[in-house]
Amino acid sequence: MNQYQYFRVTTPQGELVDCVYTCNEKSAAKIAFELFAKDFPQLKSWADLRVEAQGDDHVSF
């Protein structure tokens, strides 16, 4: 059975994107980098993302 990870991403334009992912071995920042790096060239690594809120559940860049 897959376990789902939920988090919200705020893009540089202020757009909120809700994400659901099934991999439990990566942080929300690493998953968000994989999802958004191709569309936002300013992202060079997952370390460029900020995790906001408790529980690793809101990522912004």
Which range marks the domain in which residue 50 is found? 5-60
What pLDDT, on the 0 to 100 scale, is given for residue 57?
Answer: 65
pLDDT at 35 over 70: yes
Which CA distances in Å does 34 have to 1, 15, 25, 56? Answer: 23, 18, 14, 16
Alpha-helical segments (H) within 1-61? 28-36
For 3-33, the pLDDT digits (tens) are: 777 778 888 888 888 887 776 667 777 878 8
Residue with the larger pLDDT of the pair 5 and 45 = 45
Number of domains in the chain: 1
